[in-house]
Amino acid sequence: MPDAKPIYVLNGPNLNLLGTREPEIYGRVTLAEIEVACAERAAQLGRGIVFRQSNIEGELVTWLQEAGDKAGAVVLNAGAYTHTSVALHDAIKAIAVPVIETHLSNPTAREDFRHVSLVGKAAKGVIAGFGATSYLLAIEAAALLANES
């Protein structure tokens, strides 16, 4: 698939601190290492990636809108915005490409406020709780969904 649209991998607040931030929950893998692993897995599936991180909600909204035109699918780890952002929910609903919500930890096994996902209510599916492997599973799901469209 040489003309295949890339998979956008979008990361929300505090994910730039992976590797040092609460490693007992999030592990010691850095976001840069996750990016390399995602690029390798996507390439095996005939896809490229666009990998971004922002602590700013509006940037994530803008990138989702961009992905609506330029991506085959989106993998989104919205971090804490998962539980609070109507704007991200609405941006996902506004685009036709499939969005896979992903998390390193399992939010439903954590604090009560993490049990509700506004992102998940708009996403095609959710992959969570497998550490950095969650991203690779999400890349596989995104590639499969992109191939269907």
What local confidence, expressed as pLDDT, does residue 113 receive?
A: 63
Comparing 2 with 80, the larger pLDDT belongs to 80
Catalogue the active-site residues.
Answer: 26, 103
Give the chain's domains with CATH numbers: 7-148 (3.40.50.9100)
* In the predicted structure, residue 21 carries a pLDDT above the cut 80: no
Residues in Cβ contact with 75 at an 8 Å cutoff, skipping those fewer than 6 apart? 7, 8, 9, 10, 38, 99, 100, 102, 135, 138, 139, 142
pLDDT digits (tens, 9 = 90+) for 109-147: 666 766 677 888 999 999 999 999 999 999 999 999 999
Comparing 120 with 31, the larger pLDDT belongs to 31
Q: How far is CA 26 from the centre of its chain?
A: 15
